[in-house]
Amino acid sequence: METKRKLKGPLIVAASTAAAILVLAAALILIPSLAPSREDPQVITTSTLRQIINVSELSTFTAVYNGIAEVSNPEKPGEIDYYVSYKAKVLAGIDFEAVEVDVDNDRKLVSITVPDVRINDVVVDIASLDYIFLNDDANASTVSQQAYRACEDDARAESEKQEAIVDLARQNAQNVLTALVRPLVEQADGGYDLIVE
């Protein structure tokens, strides 16, 4: 009986020691992971920003345009063969490869300059074409193809004159660039400011 009592005491001490070692090991593992980690400060570079906005062309505004194109006689350019009314979608945007990015680390400033807006594409609804012929000979099998090209040219020319299309496409481009770049700027160490113009 006495031997059992003697063994019981060392077993309790050994179990207590093992439990303390396990608690200490768990604390050593968990405490560093609970402390806020210090990441290396992010440095903003022009090449990093270029990778973020790596898109060649983006349409930032779509307008629906209803127009009337006139088609001249190919042999007598002064005479109109027919008029054609149409509906088209005009897509305006910017060339992202022409976006200028400047990082001034001394002033903590990121500047992005948006290039001029251009008409990226014109999509004419061929089902919407409606003709008024002044020359009945022009009503031939190739009239749709010729009229389609005339409508595209007309929609492009008229849209380029519309300042509202250009202004809205530019504003949308600025918003897209701000949304793409701002997260990186906010993560950078040192509180950079972002200007998109």
Residues 17 and 86 in one domain: no
How does pLDDT run across 70-117, given as a tens digit for each residue? Answer: 999 989 989 999 999 999 999 999 888 888 989 888 888 999 999 999
Secondary structure (DSSP) of 108-166: TEEEEE----EEEEEEE-GGG-EEEESSGGG-STTHHHHHHHHHHHHHHHHHHH-HHHH
Residues 98 and 33 in one domain: no
Residues 93 and 4 in one domain: no
Q: Given a cut of 60, is residue 60 above it in pLDDT?
A: yes
Residues 94 and 135 in one domain: yes
pLDDT, the chain, mean: 79
pLDDT at residue number 167: 93
Q: Which domain holds residue 16?
A: 1-38
Overall domain count for the chain: 2
Q: Given a cut of 90, is residue 10 above it in pLDDT?
A: no
Residues 14 and 58 in one domain: no
Residues 157 and 176 in one domain: yes
Residues 50 and 26 in one domain: no
Q: What percent of the chain has pLDDT above 90? A: 50
pLDDT at residue number 129: 97
Residues 122 and 30 in one domain: no
Under a CB-based contact definition with an 8 Å cutoff, are residues 92 and 122 in contact? no
